[in-house]
Amino acid sequence: MLKPFHVLNERIKSVGRFFHIEADLITSEDKNVTWDIFSWKDGVVVLAMDENKNVYIKREWRLNRKDFTWEVVSGAIEVGDPTEDDIEKAAQRELQEEIGMKAGKLEKLITIYPFNHMRNKFHIFLATDLSKSSLKADEHEHLEVKKLPFKEAYDLILKQDAPTGQNVIAFELTRDRLGL
């Protein structure tokens, strides 16, 4: 029978603007192992759709690609250990900052751990009943926004070179949920 590991100590190896890396010493029976894990704030991912099944997507430059990529709305939740209210407020804030819209209805599709070496979660939403409402974008965001029919937005994002998992999940769950 498998026995769980126990954390002996945690230490931060590297701190960046968004992430830090922890090296945790863990043990299970006769093994001590160092395990690296990323930590950040929880995040929101929001697929915004109007009444005609058009989707708002943004084009943003990303350092990991050194290029622009098409994405759905996303961003950090500014508080640690967020409540459901904090999570929804973050989703609304990101919608207003990135595409100039507010949702009359936010439906949480799923909460995920992006991968097993990350401590934090992403909360993925479908936003509908949209109305204009904008907030100032973050200083690092220079965005182009498009409104496209669901299939065109889906094809544009999923046919990119290595789309992000959060975008794939948002589109796939919305497609299944709405039968698109």
Residue 77 is assigned to a structural domain of this protein: yes
Question: Is residue 31 located within the same domain as residue 85?
Answer: no
DSSP letters spanning 10-61: EEEEEE-SS-EEEEEEEEETTEEEEEEEEE---EEEEEEE-TTSEEEEEEEE
**How far is CA 148 from each of CA 1, 43, 153, 161, rounded to the nearest angstrom?**
52, 24, 6, 20
Instruction: Please give the structure tokens belonging to residue 139.
Output: 């200083």
Number of domains present in the structure of the chain: 2
Give the model's pLDDT for residue 20: 72
Percent of the chain, pLDDT > 90? 55
d(Cα 48, Cα 91) in Å, to the nearest integer? 10
Cα separation, 180 vs 160, in Å, equals 20
The predicted structure's pLDDT at residue 138: 67
CATH number, residue 123: 3.90.79.10
Residue-wise pLDDT for 41-91, tens only, equals 899 999 999 999 999 999 988 888 888 899 999 999 988 889 999 999 999
Mean pLDDT for the chain overall: 88
Residue 134 has pLDDT above 80, yes or no: no
Shared-domain flag, residues 53 and 118: yes
**Cα(118)–Cα(111) distance, integer angstroms:** 14
Residue-by-residue DSSP string for 135-153: -PPPTT---EEEEEEHHHH
CATH code of 29's domain: 2.20.25
